C-alpha cells in the first residue's frame, strides 16, 4: 500500500498500487476527479522478460525512487506491444498512471507492411492508455511523446473519439496534453491531424436524416468560418422550382442521381489560398457525397443498408483534409469539390436503361442505379479541370469489389501518374493509413465503353474486376496528366482492424490526404 493525498483537499488516503478493476469511487477522492498519465515501455532487445523505460518513464521512476520499475517487475510478464498496466497512488500529481507496451525501440519503416512500425506502435499504445483512463472517468490526461509527439497525439485523439452525440449517457470527455515540453510543435500538429480524421468520422457516423446534403455543407462551412480570410466557399443548389447552378453547368449525370430524393442536391466548392504565390496551380480534392445510398430503383438489400449513411465518406475525408490543411496553414492552394445528394427510389428516380448526358457531353447508359457514385464524380471531375489543376485526387466509397480485393488493409489507388502515386504512397507510409496501387488497363476501359445505347455504360460488361471498371469509367472524364482515384469502400468502417480506432466509421484516409498535401506544399 502507498499513502498519497487527494490533490484538492489534501486528505491522506491509502490505495493498492495494482488493482485493474477497482471501483471508480476509489478515484473520486472526496468527489474530485484525478489527473492521469500515460507512459511507455519498450521490449528489451534480446530479452523476453525485461523492459526499457522511455525517457519520461525513467524520469518518473527516479522521482518515486524506482517504484515504477519495481511494480513493473512484480506485476506480471514484461509488457509486450499492445499490453498495458495501471498503477494507482504512484505519484502525488498522477494518482492514475497507465503504462503501455511500445514494442521494439528500434522499429522503423517496414517494407513488407508499407508503414512506419514505430509510429503505428505509438499510436496504438497511447490510444489504449488514454482509453483505460477514460474508462476510469479521469478527465485530464498527460501523454508522453514516446519519441514521436505527433504520432502520440494522433493516437490519443483518435483513440478517445466516440460518436455518442445522440445518446443520453456519454463517455467522459478527456482533455489531453503533452507530458513535458518535448516537441510541442509535433504534438500540436498531431492533434490537428487526429481532429481532422475525427471530423470525417463525425460526418460519416451521423444518421442520414441529420446529415443531409445541406447539413453536410453547413457543417464544413462552420468549421472553416474562423479562417474566412483564407478560405471561400460556395454552395450550389438545384431547386425544382428554378433553373439552378447545377443545371447551368450541364451536370446531367449528377442530377440524374439526385432526382429521386426530396432533398435538394448541393455542390460544395471550397477554395483555400494558402500559397504565397497566388498564381500557383491548385491541388483539386474531389469527394463523392452520397449522404444516403438506397441503391435507387436498383434497391440494395436491407441488411446493412444503414451503413450507407457513410456513402459520402469520400466527401467527408477530402473536406476534412482541407479543413486540416487550413488549420495547419499549409503553403499550398487547394480546391475541394463535393457533389452532395441522396440516391433514393421514387417516381422521379432514374430507371435502369436510362441515358443521361455528363458535363463533357458524353452520354451514359445507366444500367444499374446503384452504381451512382461514378455518375456524380464524372461531372465533378469535368468541373475540376476548369481550374487548371496541379493534380486531381478524388476519393469515394465506390465499389464493394474494392472491399473484396483489399479489405480494410489499404485504400485502393488508380492513377495515370507515377509522380502522383509515389507521393500518395510516401504519405501513407508516414500516417500508417496505407494505399495500394491498382491497375488502369485498357482491358477495363473496353468493358465500360461497350454500351448498346450510349458512349458509356455505368457498369462493366462483367462482374469481374468491378473496382477496376469503375476506375476506368472515371478515367473517361479525366484529361489532366496527374489524377488519382481513391476507392475507400474497404476502409470505410472499422471493426477491430485499426487498434487506435473504435468500432464504427473510420474517417480514412483523411490523414494521408493531409500528409500528401503537406509534402506537396514543400515541393512548391
3-state DSSP assignment of residue 78: coil
For residue 496, is pLDDT > 50?
A: yes
Phi and psi (nearest 5°) for 321? Answer: -65, -40
Per-residue pLDDT tens over the stretch 310-340: 999 999 999 999 999 999 999 999 999 999 9
pLDDT in tens, 415-428: 999 999 999 999 99
Whether 193 is in a domain gets the answer: no
Instruction: Answer yes or no: is 200 within a domain.
Output: no
Domain presence at residue 294: yes
Q: CB atoms < 10 A from the CB of 301, how many?
A: 7
Count the domains in the chain: 2
Is 188 contained in some domain? Answer: no
Do both 165 and 73 map to the same domain?
yes
- Does 308 fall in a domain? yes
298 & 169 share domain: no
Distances (CA, A) of 496 to 12, 124, 313, 408, 502: 41, 12, 19, 10, 7
Do 8 and 138 have their domain in common?
yes
* Domain harbouring 177, CATH code: 3.40.220.10
Are residues 159 and 224 located together in one domain of the fold? no
Domain that holds residue 377: 205-523
- Residue-level pLDDT at 19: 38
Q: What is the dihedral of CA 113, 115, 119, 123, to 10 degrees?
A: -80
Look up the pTM and report it: 0.93
Distance of CA 216 to CAs 123, 234, 268, 436, 474, Å?
Answer: 29, 13, 9, 29, 24
Mean pLDDT of 217-241: 87
46 lies in a domain?
A: yes
Among 125, 147, 182, which residue terminates a domain?
182
In CATH, what number is assigned to the domain containing residue 368?
3.40.630.10
Active-site positions read 300, 374
Residues 6+ apart with CB under 8 A from 390: 280, 281, 282, 283, 284, 482, 520
The mean-pLDDT minimum among 207-211, 229-233, 497-501 falls in 229-233
Instruction: Provide the β-strand partners of residue 287.
Output: 395
pLDDT at 12 over 60: no
Q: What is the residue-wise DSSP string for 427-477?
A: HHHHHS--EEE----HHHHHHHH--SSSSEESS-SSSTTHHHHHHHHHHTT
Share of the chain above pLDDT 90, in %: 83
Residue 297's closest CA among 371, 379, 401, 208?
371
Q: Which of 182, 216, 239 is the last residue of a domain?
A: 182
**In the predicted model, is pLDDT for residue 77 greater than 90?**
no
Cα separation, 286 vs 144, in Å, equals 37
Residues 173 and 220 both lie in one domain: no
| 102 and 238 inside one domain | no
Do 258 and 350 lie in a common domain? Answer: yes
Give phi and psi for 21, each to the nearest 5.
-115, 30
What are 279's three cell numbers?
498564381
Residues 6+ apart with CB under 8 A from 269: 233, 234, 235, 236, 335, 336, 337
Per the prediction, the chain carries an average pLDDT of 92
Residue 141 and residue 269 in one domain:
no
Question: Which pLDDT score is estimated for 237?
Answer: 79
Note whether residue 209 is domain-resident: yes
Other Cβ atoms within 10 Å of 521 Cβ, number: 20
Preceding omega of 509 cis (within 30 degrees of 0): yes
The reply to whether 486 and 423 lie within a common domain is yes
Look at residue 239 and tell me whether its pLDDT is greater than 70. Answer: no
Of 182, 216, 233, which residue constitutes the final position of a domain? 182
Contact of 490 with 398, CB cutoff 8 Å? no
Read off the pLDDT of residues 386-397 as tens digits, 9 standing for 90 and up.
999 999 999 999
- Asked if residues 508 and 319 have their Cβ atoms less than 8 Å apart, the reply is no
pLDDT band of residue 209 (cuts 50, 70, 90) is: very high
Surface-to-core class of residue 222, CB atoms within 10 Å of its CB (0-12 exposed, 13-18 middle, 19+ buried): exposed
Same domain, 166 and 292: no
Q: What band does 80 get if pLDDT is binned at 50, 70 and 90?
A: confident
Residue burial 153-164, b: 16+ Cβ < 10 Å; e: rest: bbbbbbbbbbbe
Burial class (CB in 10 A: 0-12, 13-18, 19+), 46: exposed
> Do 210 and 171 fall into the same domain?
no
Confidence of residue 375 (pLDDT cuts 50, 70, 90): very high
The answer on 377 and 516 residing in a single domain is: yes
Tell me, yes or no, whether 505 lies in a domain. Answer: yes
List pLDDT tens digits, range 141-159: 999 999 999 999 999 999 9
Amino acid at each position: 500500500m502507498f499513502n498519497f493525498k487527494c490533490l484538492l483537499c489534501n486528505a491522506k488516503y491509502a490505495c493498492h498500487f495494482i488493482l485493474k478493476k477497482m471501483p471508480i469511487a476509489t478515484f473520486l477522492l472526496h468527489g474530485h476527479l484525478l489527473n492521469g498519465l500515460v507512459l511507455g515501455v519498450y521490449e528489451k532487445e534480446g530479452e523476453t522478460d525485461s523492459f526499457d523505460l522511455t525517457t519520461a518513464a525513467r524520469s518518473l521512476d527516479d522521482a518515486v525512487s524506482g517504484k515504477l520499475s519495481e511494480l513493473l517487475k512484480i506485476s506480471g510478464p514484461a509488457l509486450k506491444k499492445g499490453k498495458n498496466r495501471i498503477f494507482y497512488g504512484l505519484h502525488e500529481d498522477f494518482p492514475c498512471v497507465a503504462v503501455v507496451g511500445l514494442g521494439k525501440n528500434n522499429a522503423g519503416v517496414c517494407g513488407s507492411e508499407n508503414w512506419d512500425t514505430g509510429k503505428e506502435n505509438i499510436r496504438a499504445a497511447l490510444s489504449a492508455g488514454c482509453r483505460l483512463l477514460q474508462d476510469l472517468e479521469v478527465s485530464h490526461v498527460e501523454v508522453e511523446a514516446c519519441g514521436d509527439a505527433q504520432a502520440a497525439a494522433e493516437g490519443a485523439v483518435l483513440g478517445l473519439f466516440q460518436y455518442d452525440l445522440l445518446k443520453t449517457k456519454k463517455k467522459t470527455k478527456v482533455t489531453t496534453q503533452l507530458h513535458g515540453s518535448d516537441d510541442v510543435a509535433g504534438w500540436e500538429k498531431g492533434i490537428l491531424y487526429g481532429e481532422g480524421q475525427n471530423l470525417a468520422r463525425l460526418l460519416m457516423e451521423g444518421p442520414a436524416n441529420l446529415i443531409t446534403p445541406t447539413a453536410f455543407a453547413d457543417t464544413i462551412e462552420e468549421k472553416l468560418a474562423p479562417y474566412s480570410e483564407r478560405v471561400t466557399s460556395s454552395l450550389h443548389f438545384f431547386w425544382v422550382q428554378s433553373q439552378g447552378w447545377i443545371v447551368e453547368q450541364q451536370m446531367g449525370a449528377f442530377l440524374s442521381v439526385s432526382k429521386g430524393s426530396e432533398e435538394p442536391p448541393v455542390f460544395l466548392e471550397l477554395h483555400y489560398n494558402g500559397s504565397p504565390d497566388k498564381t500557383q496551380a491548385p491541388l483539386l480534392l474531389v469527394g463523392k457525397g452520397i449522404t444516403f445510398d438506397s441503391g435507387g430503383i436498383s434497391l440494395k438489400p436491407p441488411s446493412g443498408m444503414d451503413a450507407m449513411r457513410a456513402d459520402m465518406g469520400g466527401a467527408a475525408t477530402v473536406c476534412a483534409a482541407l479543413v486540416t490543411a487550413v488549420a495547419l496553414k499549409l503553403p499550398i492552394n487547394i480546391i475541394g469539390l463535393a457533389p452532395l445528394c441522396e440516391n433514393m427510389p421514387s417516381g422521379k428516380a432514374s430507371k435502369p436503361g436510362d441515358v443521361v448526358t455528363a458535363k463533357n457531353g458524353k452520354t451514359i447508359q445507366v444500367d444499374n442505379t446503384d452504381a451512382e457514385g461514378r455518375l456524380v464524380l464524372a461531372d465533378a471531375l469535368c468541373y475540376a479541370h476548369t481550374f487548371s489543376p496541379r493534380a486531381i485526387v478524388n476519393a469515394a466509397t465506390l465499389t464493394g469489389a474494392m472491399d473484396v480485393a483489399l479489405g480494410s488493409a489499404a485504400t485502393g489507388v488508380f492513377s495515370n501518374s507515377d509522380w502522383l502515386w509515389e507521393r500518395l504512397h510516401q504519405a501513407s507510409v508516414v500516417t500508417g493509413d496505407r494505399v495500394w496501387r491498382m491497375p488502369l488497363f485498357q482491358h477495363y476501359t473496353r468493358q465500360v465503353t461497350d454500351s448498346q445505347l450510349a458512349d458509356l455504360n455505368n457498369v462493366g460488361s462483367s462482374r469481374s474486376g468491378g473496382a477496376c471498371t469503375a476506375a476506368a469509367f472515371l478515367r473517361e472524364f479525366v484529361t489532366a496528366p496527374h489524377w488519382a482515384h481513391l476507392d475507400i469502400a474497404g476502409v470505410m468502417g472499422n471493426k477491430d482492424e485499426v487498434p487506435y480506432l473504435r468500432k464504427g466509421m473510420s474517417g480514412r484516409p483523411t490523414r494521408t490526404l493531409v500528409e500528401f498535401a503537406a509534402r506537396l506544399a514543400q515541393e512548391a
